[in-house]
Structure 1
Amino acid sequence: MNSIFLKAVRNIKTLQYFPTNVVRACGATKSLHTTNVRNDLMEFFDIKKNWNETNIRVGRAWKLDELRIKSNTDLHKLWYVLLKERNMLLTMEQECYEKMNLFPNPERIDKVKESMDNIEKVIRERNIAYYQLETGETGERPVEDVVNLVGLQEKYEKKEYHIPRFMNTRWVQSYLDHGLFNSMAIKKFYRLYREKQHNEERKARNRDMNHVIQLIKRFPDMDMEKLKAEYPNVDIEKAKRSRKSRGHYVPKY
């Protein structure tokens, strides 16, 4: 019995001076994996074997369905991994710009940002579900339609301020006393803005009409019902009557 106790004490001393034996004694040598820790500024740069590469093979962004099945702890860890990757990519992009080199695969930044946006969406969904279960409300900030200083409609998220709205002299003077909504400058701006919107919509309708006319000209036997479903804002009958839609054949309509 004493020999067994002395042997155990010697093993404890051995484990104390050789930390790697702890893992071997626990039988977790194959399952334990640790990465190299770098605490210097090289964390902001890519590995050296990718510095002179022109094409780096990377995967796709994380999808919402894949993130919904993960726990909050995994999402928290994944967020910081993506944050670290984004900082590294932005640093490498700036370094390549200063060195006048080509930054390989710039779409990597977009994939990282898309993954981070999807994580925020999943966390927001869980917060809304939690608040609805506990309080019956979404927990989101209330949003209302307001008119800004230039007379345009916009979405405004309500916030808390240290003074009420009617006591805020700066807000009262801007919105009430000066009469910005009824001023001639705002009316002129709003008129020109509506004119610009009208011209953009008119040009879009003309582009669709000309495209439909060319389709009818090249493919006179095409299905008009599918064409109408594809371009609901275009008058198909008017496009068929147009001279531009007639090819080198006798029209059927």
Structure 2
Amino acid sequence: VKYDLMEFFDDKKNWGAQEVKSGRSWKKEELRLKSNSDLHKLWYVLLKERNMLLTMEQEANDKIKLFPSPERIDKVEESMENLESVVRERNIAYHELETGETGERPGKVETNAFGLTYYHKMCEYIMPKHMNKKWHEKYKFYKNMYDRDTEQFLLKYREKLYLQKRRKRTRDFNHVIGLLNRFPDMDMEA
């Protein structure tokens, strides 16, 4: 086991290689079978691997060379996301069993100054919002939410989203029609 700065770099045998063999990412089903201590250890292994890969990618970019097998970063990040979701599932199950609540930070859907909705995770503050003068000075424009300009913006924004969705649907339809024209004996179930 090495404990120096070379931990941030890949094995020397992989330096300059065109392709580096790597395994697949961890699946949620596999991670659910692991103990909490194993998941904790695996998280740090994945974290070190991700840091090493990002360092090697930056080094390759600095030297204007190709980074071998860049899909390794995606596999590590997918594994980390799966591990995090499994840990969150366990925490929610534990908190629901113990307290009857999920234990997740509460939140609510709010509207910003442009009239768009977003999910806001709540947190505790020393002073309540209605007593905080600095907060009111900073966010006083939120009081006049739906004026004519905001309504026009929302109308055009929703039209833009609708047109993007329609273009994608038309593009997908034309692609399928093109495939059917090129390959008339194609299996429709696939």
TM-score tier by shorter-chain length is 0.7 to 0.9
Aligned residue for 2:129, secondary structure, equals: coil
- Give the aligned residue type for 1:196: K
Task: State the structure with bigger RCO (CA 8 A, min sep 6), 1 or 2.
Answer: 2
Q: Hey, what does 1:50 align to over in structure 2?
A: 14
Tell me which structure has the larger Cα radius of gyration.
1
| Map of 1:169 onto structure 2 | 133
Structure 1 212/95 Cα, relative in aligned 2: closer, same or farther at 3 Å?
closer
Aligned-pair identity in percent equals: 57
1:27-38 to structure 2, matched below 5 A, reads 37-38=1-2
Give the match's secondary structure for 1:88: helix
- Give TM-score scaled by structure 1 length: 0.66
| Alignment match, 1:40 | 4
Instruction: Indicate the residue corresponding to 2:94 in structure 1.
Output: 130
Provide the alpha-carbon RMSD of the alignment: 2.8
Matches within 5 A, 1:7-46: 37-46=1-10
**Greater CA drift, 201-210 or 54-63:** 201-210
d(CA) in 2 for partners of 1:140, 1:47: 40
Contact 2:8 2:55 in 1 (8 A): yes
Structure 2 vs 1, CA of residues 125 and 174 (structure 1 numbering), >3 Å: closer, same or farther?
same
Q: 2:32 corresponds to which letter in structure 1?
A: R
- 1:80-137 CA-to-partner distances (Å, cap 9, x unmatched) read 1111111111111111111111100001111111111111111111111111111111
102-111 or 211-220, larger mean C-alpha shift? 211-220
Distance in 1 between residues matched to 2:167 and 2:74, nearest whole Å? 31
Query: Structure 1 residue 221: deviation in Å?
Result: 10
The 3-state SS of whatever aligns with 1:52 is coil
2:160 is matched with: 196
- TM-score, structure 2 normalization: 0.86
Gaps of 5+ in 1: 1-36, 231-253
Counting matched residue pairs gives 190
Residue 71 of structure 1 aligns with an amino acid whose one-letter code is: S
SS of 1:181 mapped into structure 2 = coil
Given that 1:86 and 1:112 are in contact with CA atoms closer than 8 Å, whether structure 2 keeps it comes out as: yes
Q: Which runs of 5+ in 2 are unaligned?
A: none
2:34 corresponds to which residue? 70
In the TM superposition, residue 159 of structure 1 has moved relative to its aligned partner by 1.1
The alignment partner of 1:53 has SS state of: coil
**Residue in structure 2 matching 1:206, options 153, 170, 173:** 170
Deviates more, 1:63-72 or 1:149-158: 149-158
Structure 2: distance between partners of 1:140 and 1:213: 46
Deviation at 1:188, TM superposition (A): 2.9
